Structure 1
Amino acid sequence: MTSSDTATQPDSAIEQHSIDYVPAAERHGKVWHQGPFWFTGNFVLPTMVAGFVGAAMGLSVWYSVLAIVLGVCVGTFFMAFHANQGPRMGLPQMIQSRAQFGSRGSAVPFAATVFVYVGFLVFDTVLAAQGLGLWLPDGKLFWYPLLIALSIVIAVVGHDLLHFVQRWLTYLLVVVFAVLTVVAVVHFGSHATPAHVPAATAGWNLTAFLVQFSLAAGYNISYAVYVSDYTRYLPAKVPARGLIGAVYSGAAFSAVWLMSLGAILASHLPDPDPILALRDVGDLLFPGFGVIAVMASVLALVSIMGVNAYGAMLTGASALDGFRGVRPTVRLRVVGLVVVGLVSLVVALLIPDDYIGSFNNFVLMMLYFLVPWTAVNLVDFYLVRRGKYAIAEVLKPDGIYGRWAWRGVTAYVVGFVAMIPFFSTSFYAGPVADALGGADFSFVVGLIVSGVLYLLFSRTLDHEAEAEARVVSEVELEGSVR
């Protein structure tokens, strides 16, 4: 399967590519666009919810913020380094995994990734509908299908529209939330805290600090599966340092800001609801500003819903292609997106009302499944193959990378198993997590074990054979796009 399977129409408003290679003639975009894209992508209400945890466990505001800053900085490091893969390979993020896992061996990380995309799409739908319910008639059966349908339309148009919407929403979000943050800091800093809210008894709590740190790190690591989807259209020779820096700064800044705001709200409001908390704090400035803040958040949620639907479609198509070859046409994209939308709608309608508790478990579960993958993928790209792949062979389910690549699969499975004693969720806590009072450092174990094992296993790779395949691949790709 190569780009010759698709009738390329660069002038069409609707994106023509899906899981196929983006040829040099169609590369476009600017490196700095990645900054606002990832700022808005991370500036959504689930990010703020991730900042509630430390305060809810008895951690003071400033210790919560410290844990958030450290966790986000660590997690974004792994996420941002995937950015360089997109322009070098011209492929979506997850299909690149075939080089490490094989076309069928990659089924497990693919399934975990679809779980992440659909999960975020569901939580975003629930929050956006609640926000609209503040000033419009409430009703899941009306808003859920409408919001999901709108996100699917955005995703059908594709890559360029997603970049455009995310970039311009950045300006609106910065203005609205800068005002809201100042109001929150001034108000809560100048008023005595009632005894029944967390800040009245908060202080240093090691367990809470570690939990907030790992949740913040895991939240941004989860974006690793998205990155190349939105850098693959950039020219192949863009500076790696500038690209990684743009992604890192956008994703880290928005996460630190919004999680920290969440920590402030959770410290001064009992059992905060993200929508109602934004409205109430915003209305402290003047009645109605709270609704403006919520509506800005709803727009950001709809945009990231499009991003999640787009990623789920790409990953699902990649998984299907490993078992039954598919042609990467516009029709495939549309059908895939409709399926993603329908699945997300069903899950959203079935999710329990206590979605905040469900969300925290969801973040941890996706962390468990994605950490071994990101370790293997990054070690392969930066240390083993050093960015050199036979792209045409990656696109072939039975190419030189095979259907089952034992090195990646084994490193992934062993890394995942090594993490289990460190798991800490509401339904299971491993012995090490119990000893640490519930703190979850499984992501550190997974990164080290999977990464080191894959590096050791890769010492027996036949680099000469792959170099020959790269030469043939380049000729094949160039011929297919003429």
Structure 2
Amino acid sequence: MARTATCTARASLVERRSIGHIPEAERHGNLRSQFTLWFGANLQITAVVVGALAVVLGGDVFWSLIGLLAGQLLGGAVMALHGAQGPQLGLPQMISSRVQFGVYGAIIPLALVCVMYVGFSAGGTVLAGQAISELLHVGNTSAILIFSAAVILLTGLGYRTIHAMGRVSSIVGALAFVYLFASLLHGHAWGALMANRHFTLASFLLAVSLSASWQIAYGPYVADYSRYLPQSTSPLKTFFAVFAGTVIGAQVAMTFGVFAAALAGERFAGHEVAFVVGLGATGAIAAILYFTIALGKLTITTLNAYGSVMSVAAIITGLGQRREISGRTRLVFVILSVGMSSAIALAGQHAFLKAFSSFLLFLLVFFTPWSAINLVDFYCVTRERYDVPALFDANGRYGRWNKVGIVVYLVGVLVQMPFVATGFYTGAWVAALGGVDISWVVGIAVPGALYYVATRVGGANVPERLILPEVASGVEPR
């Protein structure tokens, strides 16, 4: 009976679990799938747009590429450290926040994460809608609705389907970008673009911030997609598989964006999808490129929708003291999340580029302190020794509210405000720094150090070893 349940769990196309711990008997997958998932997720049109922003907002080609790479390495390291938590804990990413914030206190970053998913999905849906509209010869509204229906279907299927999409997207995306680079650079003296260097600190740090924010924004859900790996999987190898996939994929896409913005100028900005597809010489190639754009956005938007389910489920189960949600409830959450992002996409599809830039940068204010606190706690304070059953018990080891984590988080947000430079808000010290936004650096360093010192001085409730639920087979009790 137990063996049958385990085999069914392994073979089922539709994922049966939500936020509960994944028993070892149900673990599967390999590190190659971690690379392909994040490589494929980053080879997409939105990353191209982000890379282009480095030039559109004043940078040159050479230093924009260097700045983007630096940001990839810094932000990718933060992101991949979160990914390495997945196999060890067997839990979605944001559940671990209950250690630092308390079972109820974790709702604070969880609610903000939900806003992030909706925002990113809305931006991606605009670009996917443009591609589907041209591919199927339908209106933008119909294209967005078709895209949203596909996201709901794939997210409902869950973990296995998402990783399968990652493998397909990595192959299709790689082939498409080889063609796009060849078409874009053919006949252009791109070497002259690289030679035209006018370094300014503000433009360079903007490029760093763009790519670092792109990577750090993955942090709240990266472990969602590594939690099914066997617990024996090396954390270091997990780190490098995720890191290599996300850094290489994003840098390739953003590099294309830099060259496209530099060579095409106004023909690219605001017309990203049309310009990319315009590189296809024939109708058939253009159709393939439209399909590639839609597939890339489908992959990452499915990741966002799935992550939103994990976050909403974490909020609901935290309040209700449950370990899982039903499949029907999960589907309702998916529909609500995708519905909200689709509504925003329909309302704001004509003013995307600048709004997305401001949104992306402003997100750092809220997620760099969370990343710093979570990583310092996991790697330096608790040293991977979590009491997993207590994460689902408001009266347990971690309690309802962790005042230390919450206060440090709020300080981490507030201390960044003088350094923020976005369309939403500009801090008082930005002008003195020549317009440079260094808030994300402050947002990692200050709360990380404060949390470490506070837990060392005040002590932390750390078990002697990692404590996992005792589940023989099947789905854990609710």
TM (normalized to structure 1)? Answer: 0.91
Q: Quick one: structure 1 residues 191 and 230, their matched pair in 2 at CA, closer, same or farther if it must change by over 3 Å? A: closer
Distance across 2 between alignment mates of 1:449 and 1:478: 43
- The aligned runs of 1:25-424 (5 Å cut-off) are 25-189=25-189, 203-271=198-266, 272=268, 273-283=271-281, 288-326=284-322, 327-351=324-348, 353-424=350-421
Shift, 1:192, TM fit:
9.1
Deviation by residue 1:301-353 (Cα, 9 ceiling, x = unmatched): 11221111100011011012222345422122112111112212222222251
8 A contact 2:312–2:333 mirrored in 1 = yes
Compared CA separation, residues 389 and 81, structure 1 to 2 (3 A): same
1:475 to 1:132, Cα distance in 2 relative to 1, 3 A: closer
Alignment CA distance shift 1:380-1:477 (3 Å): farther
Q: What is the CA–CA distance in structure 2 between the aligned matches of 1:248 and 1:69, rounded to whole Å?
A: 13
- Deviation per residue, 1:199-224 (Å, 9 max, x gap): 99973333211111111111111111
Aligned-partner residue type, residue 293 of structure 2? S
Query: Cα gap change, 1:269/1:389 in structure 2, threshold over 3 Å: closer, same or farther?
Result: same
Amino acid at match of 2:203: A
Q: Please tell me whether the aligned partners of residues 58 and 205 of structure 1 are also in contact (alpha carbons under 8 angstroms).
A: no
Specify the SS of the correspondent of 1:268. Answer: helix
Distance 2:158 2:257 in 1: 31
Take 1:477 and 1:439, find their aligned partners in 2: how far apart are those partners? Answer: 52
Query: Kindly tell me: are residues 205 and 20 of structure 1, through their superposed partners in 2, closer, same or farther at Cα, counting changes over 3 Å?
Result: same
**Which range moves more in the overlay, 14-23 or 343-352?**
343-352
Moved more, 165-174 or 370-379: 165-174
| Structure-2 change in CA distance of 1:475 and 1:334 (3 Å) | closer
Tell me if structure 2 keeps the 8 A contact 1:58–1:202: no
1:249 partner letter: A
| Structure 2 CA distance for aligned equivalents of residues 187 and 205 of structure 1 | 29
1:190 & 1:92 partners in 2: Cα distance?
A: 44
How far apart, CA to CA, are the structure 1 residues paired with 2:133 and 2:328?
34
Query: Quick check: 1:42–1:251 contact (8 Å CA) kept in 2?
Result: yes
Q: 5+ unaligned residues in a row in structure 1: which ranges? A: 1-7, 194-198
What is the rounded CA distance, in whole Å, between the counterparts of 1:390 and 1:223 in structure 2? Answer: 25
CA distance in 1, matches of 2:446, 2:414: 10
Distance of aligned partners of 1:477 and 1:387 in 2 relative to their CA distance in 1, 3 Å threshold: farther
Tell me if the contact between 2:63 and 2:197 (Cα under 8 Å) persists in the aligned partners.
no
CA distance in 1, matches of 2:30, 2:381: 28
Q: 2:4 maps to what in 1?
A: none
Quote how far apart the aligned CAs of 1:59 are: 1.9
Partner of 1:4: none
Question: Any conservation in 1 of the 2:121–2:341 contact (CA below 8 Å)?
Answer: yes
5+ residue gaps, structure 2: 1-7
- Report deviation, 1:140: 3.2
Correspondence list, 1:7-18, <5 A: 9-18=9-18
Give 1:300 shift. Answer: 1.3
For residue 171 of structure 2, what is the amino acid of its counterpart?
Y
The change in CA–CA distance for 1:91 and 1:61 in structure 2 (over 3 A counts) is same
1:111 and 1:289 map into 2 onto residues whose CA distance is 42
Partner of 1:3: none
Q: Within 1, Cα distance between the matches of 2:426 and 2:401?
A: 32
1:174 shift after superposition: 0.8
String of CA shifts for 1:402-438, please: whole Å, max 9, x gaps: 1111121111110111000010012321122222232
2:426 is matched with 429
CA distance in 1, matches of 2:334, 2:107: 19
Please say if residues 85 and 235 of structure 2, whose CA atoms lie closer than 8 Å, have aligned partners that are also in contact: no
Tell me the secondary structure at the aligned position of residue 402 of structure 1.
coil
Structure-2-length-normalised TM-score: 0.92
Verify the 8 A CA contact 1:131 1:275 in the aligned structure 2.
yes
Compared CA separation, residues 467 and 478, structure 1 to 2 (3 A): farther
Query: 1:364-414 CA distances to partner (integer Å, 9 max, x unpaired)?
Result: 122111100000000001000011101011122332111111121111110
2:302 alignment partner AA: G
Q: CA deviation at 1:287?
A: 5.7
Letter of the 1:15 partner, please give it.
E
Q: Distance in 2 between matches of 1:142 and 1:439?
A: 41
* Aligned AA (2:430): A
Query: Are the counterparts in 2 of residues 130 and 138 from structure 1 also a CA contact under 8 Å?
Result: no
Contact 1:110 1:316 in 2 (8 A): yes
Q: Deviations over 1:248-301 (max 9, x none)?
A: 000000111111110111111123222022122333xx5653442232121111
**Contact in 2 for aligned 1:173/1:296 (Cα 8 Å):** yes
SS at 2:424's partner residue?
Answer: coil
Aligned partner of 1:222: which letter? Answer: A
Query: Is contact 2:382–2:462 with CA below 8 Å preserved after alignment?
Result: no
Cα RMSD, aligned residues only: 2.4
Alignment partners' CA distance in 2, 1:435 and 1:186: 43
Indicate the percent of aligned positions where both proteins have the same amino acid: 32
- Whole-Å Cα distance in 2 between the matches of residues 162 and 252 of structure 1? 19
Counterpart contact for 2:133–2:140, Cα < 8 Å: no
Looking at structure 1, the residues matched to 182 and 471 of structure 2 have their Cα atoms a distance apart, in angstroms, of 53
Which residue in the other structure is 2:3 paired with? Answer: none
Q: Distance in 1 between matches of 2:41 and 2:131?
A: 18
Tell me the distance in 1 between the aligned counterparts of 2:356 and 2:113: 16
Instruction: Tell me, yes or no, if the aligned pair for 2:44 and 2:173 is still in contact at 8 Å.
Output: no
